[in-house]
């Protein structure tokens, strides 16, 4: 029951990428919806889920397109020409 949640709790939410946060949020949703959780555990899942959702929201709001370019065998930042 706690296999999915307890294992990952170590990683702090602020360090998660959008994909990681969303994937874990998805797991928590199905854990909460699907399994019989102990109340205390369910509340913990719920709180982590809330935090993950908030993290996703923050990342979405702050997202900025990162553009790099291939130069030979390297990847270097790409400076867009202004109009």
How many of the chain's residues bind other proteins (CB under 8 A)? 35
Question: Which residue has 């109340």 as its token pair?
Answer: 39
Answer yes or no whether residue 78 interacts with other proteins by CB under 8 A: yes
Query: What is the closest distance, in whole angstroms, from the C-beta atom of residue 35 to other proteins in the complex?
Result: 10
Tokens of 7: 């294992």
Applying the rule CB under 8 A, the residues between 47 and 76 that interact with other proteins are 49-50, 53, 56-57, 59-60, 63-70, 73, 75
Cα-based distances in Å from 77 to 33, 62, 69, 73, 82: 44, 19, 6, 13, 15
Query: What is the closest distance, in whole angstroms, from the C-beta atom of residue 38 to other proteins in the complex?
Result: 10
């Amino acid at each position: 029951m706690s296999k999915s949640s307890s294992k990952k709790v170590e990683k702090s939410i602020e360090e998660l990428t959008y994909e990681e946060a969303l994937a874990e949020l998805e797991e928590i949703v199905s854990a909460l919806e699907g399994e019989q959780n102990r109340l205390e555990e369910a509340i913990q899942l719920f709180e982590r889920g809330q935090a993950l959702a908030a993290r996703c929201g923050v990342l979405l709001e702050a997202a900025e397109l990162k553009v790099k370019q291939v130069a030979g065998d390297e990847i270097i930042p790409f400076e867009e020409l202004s109009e």
